[in-house]
A and B are shown apart, each in its own frame.
Chain A
Amino acid sequence: MEITARSLWTLIHGMGFGALYLLACSGVLIELYRRYSPKSECPISPRDEKFLKVYLVAMAALAWITVLTGTYIIYPWYRAVAPVGTVNLAGFPQMLLKSSPHTIGWHSLGMEWKEHVAWLVPISITMAAAVFVRYGRNLRSQPQLRAAVLCFTLTSFLAAGIAGFFGAMLVKNAPVEGGRVIHLMHGE
Chain B
Amino acid sequence: MNKPAPSVPANSAGLPNGSGAAAILAAGIGSFMVAVLAIAADNSAAVKSLLNFYRPSGPLSGVTTTAVLVWLIAWGILDWRWRSRTVALGRINALALVLLGLSLLLTFPPIADLF
**Complex alpha-carbon distance, A72 and B64, angstroms:** 11
Question: Which residue in chain A gives the minimum CB-CB distance to B101?
Answer: A155
Complex partner residue of B20 from A109, A113, A134, A158, CB under 8 angstroms: A134
Q: How far is the CA of A152 from the CA of B34 in the complex (A)?
A: 15
- B13 near A159 with CB under 8 A, answer no
Q: Which of B61, B64, B68, B93 contacts A147 (CB 8 A)?
A: B93
> By the criterion CB–CB under 8 Å, are A113 and B68 in contact?
no
Given A71-B57, A124-B31, A152 and B24 touching (CB < 8 A)?
A: yes
- Chain B hits for A147, CB < 8 A: 93
In the complex formed, the residue of A with least CB distance to B88 is A144
Asked if B40 lies at the interface with its beta carbon under 8 angstroms from chain A, I say: no
B20, A124: Cβ atoms under 8 Å?
no
Instruction: Determine the chain A residues whose CB is within 8 A of the CB of B61 once the complex forms.
Output: 71-72
Nearest-neighbor residue (CB-CB) of A138 within chain B: B13
Are A135 and B104 within 8 A (Cβ)?
no
CB of A113 within 8 A of CB of B109, answer: yes
Interface magnitude class on chain B: 35 or more
Q: Which residues of B contact A149 (CB under 8 A)?
A: 24
Is there an interface contact between A158 and B104, defined as CB atoms closer than 8 Å? yes
Give the interface residue-count category, chain A. Answer: 35 or more
A24 an interface residue at 8 Å Cβ cutoff?
A: no
- What DSSP secondary structure best describes chain A's contact surface? helix
Given A116-B38, A120-B31, A144-B89, CB of A72 within 8 Å of CB of B13? no
**CB of A5 closer than 8 Å to a CB of B:** no
CB distance from A136 to the nearest CB of B (A): 10
Q: A141 to B108, alpha carbons, bound, how many Å?
A: 36
Residue A117 interfacial (CB < 8 Å): yes
- Interface readout for A127-147 with B: 1 if CB under 8 Å, 0 if not? 100110011001001101101
* Inter-chain contacts of B97 with A (CB < 8 A): 148, 151
Considering only residues 43-66 of chain B, those with a C-beta below 8 Å from chain A are: 54, 56-58, 60-61, 63-64
Which B residues touch A72, using CB under 8 A? 54, 56-57, 61
Residues of B94-115 contacting chain A, CB below 8 A: 96-97, 100, 103-104, 107-110, 112
- 20 pairs of residues in contact across A and B, judged by CB atoms under 8 Å: A67-B64, A75-B56, A76-B57, A112-B109, A115-B60, A117-B108, A119-B68, A123-B30, A123-B31, A123-B67, A124-B31, A126-B27, A127-B24, A131-B20, A134-B20, A142-B13, A142-B20, A149-B24, A151-B97, A155-B104
Q: What are the 6 A-B residue pairs with the smallest beta carbon separation, nearest first?
A: A76-B56, A127-B27, A116-B107, A144-B89, A138-B13, A141-B13
Q: Which residues in B have some Cβ–Cβ distance to A below 8 Å? A: 11-13, 15, 17, 19-21, 23-24, 26-27, 30-31, 34-35, 38, 54, 56-58, 60-61, 63-64, 67-68, 71, 89-90, 93, 96-97, 100, 103-104, 107-110, 112
